[in-house]
Amino acid sequence: MIDSLANVLPHFRNTNSGQFFLMAGPCVIEGEDMALRIAEKVKHMTDKLQIPYIFKGSYRKANRSRLDSFTGIGDETALRILQKVGREIGVPTVTDIHESEEAALAAEYVDVLQIPAFLCRQTDLLVAAAKTGKVVNVKKGQFLSGESMQFAVDKIRQSGNEHVILTDRGNSFGYSDLVVDFRNLPAMRSFGVPVVMDVTHSLQRPNQSSGVTGGQPALIETIAKAAIAVGADGLFIETHPTPATAKSDGANMLALDQLEALLIKLTRVREAVR
């Protein structure tokens, strides 16, 4: 795990390289070898492009449509893998938590605690995450405007923690689709916090009759370019060596071998709009 918040926070502002930062990794930790391989490859790409990198991996998936959906390999096992990734690859790590009781446990292993979009109004969860002293990344609910996320920021700050990030992941559009309203990014940035665009989750097609969420990965580049042009501080991209075999959210992931080419294009967009 990164030694201090002072070493983590520079990843969340465009001050040193002038680049956006990247949160990327698999949807869920499937095993140690895969996690380390993904982190190492992404770190190699981001180092070349001077993009600050935070490894992302859920230690457990609690929000599943079906009872037989994959949820994880065990909490302690997955958290130890996240810790090992941070130590061996030398990057900050982020994972999501679902209940207030999980905050202190996860904080022992990772640098950033993430609040899932469906839970962004859960006061006890936000307060528990804030009180760990970790950076807290709150995903905007699909049912909320960017302006309404001020209250999530206030809850964390009023709990004694100024280290807040807000992430957009689209808004519900009908029963089985999402749409991205890019007005949300400047609205949330006005609260004085870094803002992130969750590119891959915003392309989900939820509530499919199969009980497995669909997606539109062909539009990943479109959403990412637009977010950078609007001024996002960071991007969130789930990636996997073989999305078709991923145990969670494979339908909207980016194949790992396509990530570097996308990042190169995005650094050019960033340079053009600076």
Residue 64 has pLDDT above 70, yes or no: no
Task: Give SS3 for 127.
Answer: helix
Residue 208: which pLDDT band, with cuts at 50, 70 and 90? low
CA 13 to chain centroid:
15
Q: Which pair of tokens denotes residue 13?
A: 């502002």
Q: Which pair of tokens denotes residue 122?
A: 């859960």
Residue 40: which pLDDT band, with cuts at 50, 70 and 90? very high
Residue 256: which pLDDT band, with cuts at 50, 70 and 90? very high
Residue 216: which pLDDT band, with cuts at 50, 70 and 90? confident
Query: Between residues 74 and 139, which one has the greater pLDDT?
Result: 139
248-254 mean pLDDT: 76
What is the H or E stretch that residue 164 is in? strand 164-168
Q: What is the pLDDT of residue 1?
A: 45
Average the pLDDT over each of 50-59, 213-222, 230-239 and give the range with the smallest value: 213-222
Query: Is this prediction's pTM over 0.85?
Result: yes
Q: What is the pLDDT of residue 141?
A: 95
Q: What is the pLDDT of residue 239?
A: 95
Residue 162: which pLDDT band, with cuts at 50, 70 and 90? very high
Domain that holds residue 185: 5-273
Task: Please state whether 22 falls in left (phi above 0), alpha (psi between -120 and 50) or beta.
Answer: beta
The label of the residue with tokens 């926070």 reads 9
Q: Which pair of tokens denotes residue 170?
A: 């689209």
Decide: 85 and 66 in contact? Cβ < 8 Å. no
Looking at the structure of the chain, the number of domains it has is 1
**Strand runs (DSSP E) across 45-108, as ranges?**
53-56, 93-96
State how far the Cα of 162 lies from the Cα of 159, in Å rounded to an integer.
9
Average the pLDDT over each of 2-11, 118-127, 129-138, 187-196 and give the range with the smallest value: 2-11
Query: Between residues 209 and 20, which one has the greater pLDDT?
Result: 20
Residue 18: which pLDDT band, with cuts at 50, 70 and 90? confident
Q: What is the CATH number of the domain that holds 92?
A: 3.20.20.70
Mean pLDDT, all residues of the chain: 89
Residue 181 has pLDDT above 60, yes or no: yes
Residue 184 has pLDDT above 80, yes or no: yes
Residue 272 has pLDDT above 60, yes or no: yes
135-153 mean pLDDT: 97
**For 75-134, what is each residue's pLDDT tens digit?**
999 999 999 999 999 999 999 999 999 999 999 999 999 999 999 999 999 999 999 999
Query: Between residues 197 and 60, which one has the greater pLDDT?
Result: 197
Q: What is the pLDDT of residue 209?
A: 45
Residue 244: which pLDDT band, with cuts at 50, 70 and 90? confident
Residue 204 has pLDDT above 80, yes or no: no
Decide: 22 and 5 in contact? Cβ < 8 Å. no
